[in-house]
Amino acid sequence: MADSANDLADHSGDLGDCDRATRPGDREQSDHVPVDQPLVEIGIIVAGSLDPVDEPAVKQATRQFIEFVQQTFPDFRWHLVESRRPEAITGQITGQRIAPSSLLQQALEERDEQHWDFAFVLTPSELESHYSTHCFAALSRPLNAAAFSLSLIDPRAIGRTGHADQRIATIANRLSRLMLHALGHLLGLSRADLADNLLYHPASAKQLDSMQQLDESQIAKLQTALYEIADQRLEEAPGRRLAALPFIAQSAWINRREIAQAIVAARPWQFPQRLSGLTLASVSTLAVLLMTAESWDLALSQPGMNLVALAVLSWIITTAYVIVRQQLIVRDQPLRSEQIVVTTFAAIGIVFTGMLVAWMFLMFLASSIAWLMFRADLIAAWASSSSFSTGQIGLSERLQMATFASSLGLMIGSLGTSFEAQHYFRHVIFVDEEI
């Protein structure tokens, strides 16, 4: 296994004019770098073997990337480390494409081991896409990582076979823009509407060529986020070493905003749509329970607190089951790193929020069906042990049944995640943007 770590850059540049928009082609460096500047470390992992065109293109793209961030953010030291993993894609390719989740998992493991702030994975293979027709890059805020494909940004992908130098320049320019877009996204910037902005969402590889700059407000937001990222981590602080639970609690509290942003970026409200296995199993269970007299009888005989406890328990059980079943937070080391704590809490938060959203969807569906299709006299007859009269059956009784059916439906439906491929499920959980 080849494994090399090469220091690509560890110095900062001088922006000069802070008010102007900064472009990746600009170059103005300083030879003297204050050692007390906050350090931002990015790992560049090359997964697979590069051909004679991709190899120089990656080096040129890395130079353009480091020049841009040095000039735009001169208050920081930028340290890029290259790691070669020619064996990384073995056994991970589906057809002619590689699952981004597998690359991101490898990026996460190396990021934690090397204590990088971010990890970028580059592969010559085409990335598997789930949300669009193509995928130049897959970005993950929960993992502080991104995977990039050199395949579709090569002019040869659309049949243009120019001179090697032209291909190298084009690939390098496009890759550097993808990397800058990824950095902005991972630091919390939202998409931009202007085609020349680096946070624009391109529909084609050619549109990457127009993505040139950041505006002043974006630079200010990134500056603030970078200070938080480059701050000393809890495990690096001098003094007495915290016990495991206080360390985890303090790390989660310090990074609570980053965890919340990662959860929102994952869009867990789209779980019912994206996780069809979970939704199908849950809705099927819901339909069976609503059509069963014994279910109505059991639900309406329960005290309200029992049903509330059942609902909360269903959220917790399904979250735990999905996390274990899909191996979302399996680690070979304890939670003694701020980054690992953030990633773990983000994964738990994403799944828990997704389960809660799925439960609310089931609750709305069950309540609507119960109100529209089940008459009061039918419900009173089915709930015979509760001695309800027809006049006593109203909205609250239907909500009782909806709560009962939704909670059981969610728990049984979570078994439907077994039908989701692990790569796809991890993609849904962790990949919050495909470019």
pLDDT at 271: 83
pLDDT at 36: 72
User: Of 18-27, 162-171, 209-218, 369-378, which gets the smallest average pLDDT?
Assistant: 18-27
The two counts, helices (H) then strands (E), for the chain are 14, 10
Q: Determine the Cα–Cα distance for residues 201 and 434; give it in Å rounded to an integer.
A: 9
- Every domain range in the chain assigned CATH 3.40.390.10: 5-230
Q: Determine the Cα–Cα distance for residues 8 and 44; give it in Å rounded to an integer.
A: 10
- Tokens linked to 99: 């699952």
pLDDT at 195 over 90: yes
pLDDT at 335: 58
CATH (one of 1.10.1200.10, 1.10.10.10, 3.30.950.10, 3.40.390.10) for 5-230: 3.40.390.10
pLDDT at 424: 82
Q: Determine the Cα–Cα distance for residues 280 and 334; give it in Å rounded to an integer.
A: 36
User: What's the average model confidence in pLDDT over 294-302?
Assistant: 90
- pLDDT by residue (tens digit) across 215-265? 999 999 999 999 888 776 766 666 656 777 888 888 888 888 889 988 988
pLDDT at 325 over 80: yes
CB distance 200 to 211 below 8 Å? yes
Task: Give the type of residue at 83.
Answer: S
Q: H or E stretch including 85?
A: strand 77-85
DSSP string, 187-253: TTPPPBSSTTBTTB--SSGGGGGG--B--HHHHHHHHHHHHHHHSPPGGGSSSSPPPHHHHHHHHHH
What confidence category does residue 334 fall into, taking pLDDT thresholds of 50, 70 and 90?
low
CB neighbour list of residue 217: distance below 8 Å, 6 or more residues apart? none
CB distance 433 to 185 below 8 Å? yes
pLDDT at 20: 37
Computed on alpha carbons and rounded to an integer, the radius of gyration of the chain in Å comes to 26
**Angle at alpha carbon of residue 282, lines to 276 and 285, rounded to 5°:** 140
CB distance 109 to 136 below 8 Å? no
pLDDT at 367 over 80: yes
How many residues make up the chain in this entry?
A: 435
